[in-house]
């Protein structure tokens, strides 16, 4: 008799609650990964994500082999693969982590659940982070998450009693129809790379984190860069939380304390945003506040979309970010928020088309964070303050010396520093714009003003507020009362921040 451990986005053996559970049954385990071609045909899937996955699977296989097991890789539809294995190996149960994925994996999991029920096979899904399935209400969620994070990390088993089964090599990206997508400096995948990333961040890279996280140049090193590892589970978020806590307890000075605190907050935001998608899977496809549906044309202006994707909008800082993203698969939070905001406000593109492009470009694509953030930066949630980033100001603030912009836009080398973010104001613009670099495709100020007016018109419309209040009730973060400030005023202020900023 056998149990199947179905690896999904939990590609490790350390701190692995589903592995721990399956071992407790004291039966041989079949360790399985299914490459699902249909998943890789979705509009949010990309070559760079698959490359990272392949590296992570290689590492997982080695970890399993060290413990006397192996990874069985199969390609195909999950139900068909599972059915075949259950038949062949007389499996008693299926165990996996609880996945909060995209709409496609959600539908697939429903099919798997129906199939398992039909066969009378128990499917045990085990949480691996602070996201709570079938959450009744947001109040108290934070303490549940904190309790999970305080529980000791689970050690990797010394040995795994395993069942072997025929395994196939992973399909190539081309087999899955994934074309090379311009990635030139990919982040390495796999558990070992994830551990190195965490350790180097906590030992030395993270010291300037709080100050430097929004700088496009410094942030690439000062941010943890853990996101793709957390997305594929080569590291557990609890391992990151606890390793950070140990560093906090060392009481280090020189900026460390603020940086580690900010980092812990972001690890908590991760679960908070993923919880939104868990609670409302349709936020990947529908405006959280329905009044925004149809505000922007559903068919996006193709020329604008393509210019934005290619880094050819004529707004230098936006273009530098988009080109850098294409080459590296990563941007810091501020730059992600700005490029999304420009797409949704200045270029007036529907968030679904621009959001899919960004999803493909992010090696760390995490649907729960992504779609919540995409909607937040597009002003369609009904619960967040409208924030329209000014790309010229962002360039001046975050790339003061212009080194990042110049690195990605060599065609601007002749532009003097003071005009770098607004080359249209430079005397020599006639020789440059419309020739080697585009004129801005919109008037930055006028486009922002028009967008703000249109969004506020929706906000002021009849019936907007009661729906917005229900959304806040369902999704806004609420700390437990004991952790709020005692003064009514500061408590109200903080709770407003928690509700509206996140
Ligand atoms: C439009 C948009 C789309 C985004 N899409 C994704 C995505 O697909 N995948 C993804 O992991 N992050 C996404 N983010 C959040 C954030 O930008 C990235 O997590 C971060 O830049 C990753 O780099 P890092 O690991 O070095 O982050 P760090 O700053 O070192 O943070 C550590 C971890 O905390 C979490 N985190 C950080 N910032 C946030 C945040 N604002 N909200 C929720 N969790 C956060 C991530 O898991 C991150 O790996 C998005 C943000 C925006 C504005």
Q: State the Cα–Cα distance between residues 251 and 226, nearest whole angstrom.
A: 23
Query: Which residue lies with its CA nearest to atom 29 of ligand 1?
Result: 223
For the cut 70, the answer to whether the pLDDT of residue 480 exceeds it is no
91-97 and 72-75 as β-strands: parallel, antiparallel, unpaired?
A: unpaired
For the cut 70, the answer to whether the pLDDT of residue 488 exceeds it is no
Over residues 246-273, mean pLDDT:
96
Task: For 112-126, write each residue's pLDDT tens digit.
Answer: 999 999 999 999 999
pLDDT band at 385 (very low <50, low <70, confident <90, very high): confident
For the cut 80, the answer to whether the pLDDT of residue 35 exceeds it is yes
pLDDT band at 497 (very low <50, low <70, confident <90, very high): very low
pLDDT band at 478 (very low <50, low <70, confident <90, very high): low
Instruction: Choose the residue to mutate in 266, 268, 308 for probing ligand 1, maximizing ligand atoms within 8 Å of C-beta.
Output: 266
| pLDDT, position 479 | 59
Q: Are 293 and 375 in contact (CB under 8 A)?
A: no
Task: For 303-321, write each residue's pLDDT tens digit.
Answer: 999 999 999 999 999 999 9
Q: Does residue 39's CB lie within 6 angstroms of at least one atom of ligand 1? A: no
Q: Does residue 344's CB lie within 6 angstroms of at least one atom of ligand 1? A: no
pLDDT band at 476 (very low <50, low <70, confident <90, very high): confident
Q: Quick one: which of 38, 124, 123, 48 has its CA closest to 75?
A: 38
Q: Does residue 226's CB lie within 6 angstroms of at least one atom of ligand 1? A: yes
The ligand 1 atom at the shortest distance from the C-alpha of residue 367 is 8
For the cut 60, the answer to whether the pLDDT of residue 495 exceeds it is no
pLDDT band at 53 (very low <50, low <70, confident <90, very high): very high
Q: Does residue 377's CB lie within 6 angstroms of at least one atom of ligand 1? A: yes
Q: Taking the chain, what is the end-to-end CA distance rounded to the nearest angstrom?
A: 47
The ligand 1 atom at the shortest distance from the C-alpha of residue 359 is 8
Q: Does residue 162's CB lie within 6 angstroms of at least one atom of ligand 1? A: no
Instruction: Find the 228 Cα to ligand 1 centroid distance in Å.
Output: 9
Instruction: Find the 444 Cα to ligand 1 centroid distance in Å.
Output: 27
Q: State the Cα–Cα distance between residues 216 and 212, nearest whole angstrom.
A: 9
Task: For 17-27, write each residue's pLDDT tens digit.
Answer: 999 999 999 99
Q: State the Cα–Cα distance between residues 93 and 119, nearest whole angstrom.
A: 10
Q: Quick one: which of 94, 67, 86, 131 has its CA closest to 8?
A: 94
């Amino acid at each position: 008799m056998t149990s199947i451990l179905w690896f999904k986005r939990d590609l490790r053996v350390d701190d692995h609650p589903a592995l721990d559970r399956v071992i407790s049954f004291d039966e041989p385990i079949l360790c399985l990964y299914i490459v699902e071609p249909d998943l890789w045909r979705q509009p949010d899937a990309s070559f760079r994500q698959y490359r990272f996955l392949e590296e992570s699977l290689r590492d997982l296989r080695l970890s399993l082999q060290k413990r006397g097991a192996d990874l069985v890789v199969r390609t195909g539809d999950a139900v068909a693969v599972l059915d075949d294995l259950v038949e062949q190996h007389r499996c008693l149960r299926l165990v996996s982590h609880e996945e909060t994925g995209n709409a496609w994996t959600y539908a697939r999991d429903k099919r798997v659940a129906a199939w398992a029920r039909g066969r009378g096979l128990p499917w045990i899904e085990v949480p691996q982070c602070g996201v709570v399935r079938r959450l009744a209400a947001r109040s108290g969620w934070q303490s549940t998450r904190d309790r999970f994070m305080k529980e000791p990390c689970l050690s990797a088993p010394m040995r795994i009693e395993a069942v072997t089964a025929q395994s196939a090599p992973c399909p190539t990206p081309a087999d899955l129809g994934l074309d090379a997508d311009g990635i030139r400096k990919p982040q390495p995948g796999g558990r070992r790379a994830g551990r190195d990333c965490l350790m180097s961040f906590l030992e030395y890279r993270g010291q300037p984190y709080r100050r430097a996280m929004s700088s496009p140049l410094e942030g690439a090193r000062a941010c943890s860069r853990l996101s793709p590892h957390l997305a594929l589970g080569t590291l557990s978020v609890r391992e990151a939380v606890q390793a950070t806590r140990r560093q906090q307890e060392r009481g280090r000075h020189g900026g460390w304390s603020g940086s580690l605190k900010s980092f812990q907050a972001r690890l908590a935001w991760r679960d908070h945003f993923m919880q939104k998608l868990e609670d409302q899977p349709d936020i990947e496809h529908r405006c959280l506040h329905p009044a925004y549906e149809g505000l922007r044309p559903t068919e996006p202006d193709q020329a604008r979309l393509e210019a934005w994707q290619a880094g050819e909008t004529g707004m230098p800082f936006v273009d530098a970010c988009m080109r850098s993203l294409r080459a590296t698969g990563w941007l810091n939070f501020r730059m992600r928020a700005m490029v999304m905001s420009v797409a949704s406000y200045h270029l007036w593109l529907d968030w679904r088309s621009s959001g899919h492009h960004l999803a493909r470009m992010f090696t760390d694509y995490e649907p729960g964070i992504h779609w919540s953030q995409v909607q937040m930066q597009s002003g369609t949630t009904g619960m967040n303050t409208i924030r329209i980033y000014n790309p010229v100001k962002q360039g001046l603030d975050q790339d003061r010396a212009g080194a990042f912009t110049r690195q990605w836009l060599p065609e601007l080398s002749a532009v003097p520093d003071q005009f770098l973010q607004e080359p249209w104001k430079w005397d020599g613009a006639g020789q440059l714009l419309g020739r080697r670099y585009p004129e801005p495709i919109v008037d930055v100020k006028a486009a922002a003003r028009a967008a703000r007016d249109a969004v506020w018109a929706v906000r002021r419309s009849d019936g907007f507020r009661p729906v917005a209040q229900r959304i806040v009730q369902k999704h806004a973060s609420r700390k437990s009362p004991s952790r709020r400030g005692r003064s009514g005023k500061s408590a109200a202020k903080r709770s407003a921040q928690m509700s509206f900023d996140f």
